[in-house]
């Protein structure tokens, strides 16, 4: 009799845990079928440059992604980022971001925070940003963010600014 009762309690607890988990996922939106975002930065549409972001949703409060920028005046960056979201809805609202990657270019025609070396540079980059993500039921997303970072190396410009107004689609 003890074995039967123990078995029934085990089955009931597993079933109850499953129902709690499913209802929590449904209310938090982590069971979203769309877990990918592809975005373009609107600010770079006006200048001769292109900046594209990919973001992968992997929990109700965090994502990771890649961003690539190519300025046709010989400036580029490729960064990976991780974002923590603090909004009421999953993957929306206020976020903090940590990012790292590589930034490079030719500084002959650019002024960047007092950098006086007029040659080419390529340097590792590490930084942080904060911003806000707006989402619609149709899967349209809008990110507005700003942040700072540090370039590492003797011949690097020192610091950089990362900001954007990105619009895209969640799929």
- Is residue 30 predicted with pLDDT exceeding 50? no
Same domain, 73 and 60: yes
DSSP state of 156: S
Tell me: do 9 and 57 sit in the same domain. no
| Better-predicted residue by pLDDT, 120 or 128 | 128
Domain that holds residue 94: 32-170
Count CB-CB contacts under 10 A for residue 56: 11
Q: Please tell me whether residues 94 and 143 are part of one structural domain.
A: yes
Residues 134 and 77 in one domain: yes
**CB-based contact 89:80 (threshold 8 Å):** no
- Both 71 and 16 in a single domain? no
- pLDDT-derived band at 23, boundaries 50, 70, 90: very low
List all residues 6 or more positions away from 170 whose beta carbon is below 8 Å from its beta carbon.
Answer: 32, 34, 36, 37, 57, 135, 139, 140, 141
Indicate the length of the chain as a whole number.
171
Q: What domain count does the chain have?
A: 2
- Percentage of the chain lying above the pLDDT 70 cut: 74
Instruction: Please tell me the predicted confidence (pLDDT) of residue 102.
Output: 94
25 plus 53 within the same structural domain: no
Residues 1 and 64 in one domain: no
pTM of the predicted protein model? 0.76
pLDDT band per the 50, 70, 90 thresholds, residue 28: very low
Q: Residue 66 to residues 46, 69, 72, 117: CA-CA distances in angstroms?
A: 22, 10, 20, 29
Asked whether the predicted pLDDT for residue 25 surpasses 70, the reply is: no
In 15-92, at which residue ranges do the beta strands (DSSP E only) sit? 36-41, 49-59, 62-71, 75-85
């Amino acid at each position: 009799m003890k074995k039967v009762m123990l078995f029934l309690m085990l089955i009931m607890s597993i079933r109850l845990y499953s129902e709690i988990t499913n209802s929590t996922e449904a209310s938090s939106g982590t069971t979203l079928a769309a877990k990918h975002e592809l975005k373009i930065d609107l600010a770079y549409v006006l200048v001769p440059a292109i900046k594209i972001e990919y973001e992968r949703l992997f929990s109700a409060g965090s994502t990771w992604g890649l961003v690539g920028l190519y300025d046709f005046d010989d400036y580029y960056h490729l960064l990976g980022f991780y974002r923590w979201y603090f909004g009421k809805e999953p993957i929306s609202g206020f976020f903090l971001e940590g990012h790292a990657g590589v930034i490079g270019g030719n500084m002959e025609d650019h002024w960047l925070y007092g950098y006086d070396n007029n040659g080419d540079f390529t340097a590792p980059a590490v930084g942080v940003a904060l911003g806000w993500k707006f989402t619609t039921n149709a899967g349209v997303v809008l990110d507005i963010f700003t942040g700072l970072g540090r370039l590492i190396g003797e011949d690097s410009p020192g610091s950089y600014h990362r900001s954007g107004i990105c619009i895209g689609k969640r799929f």
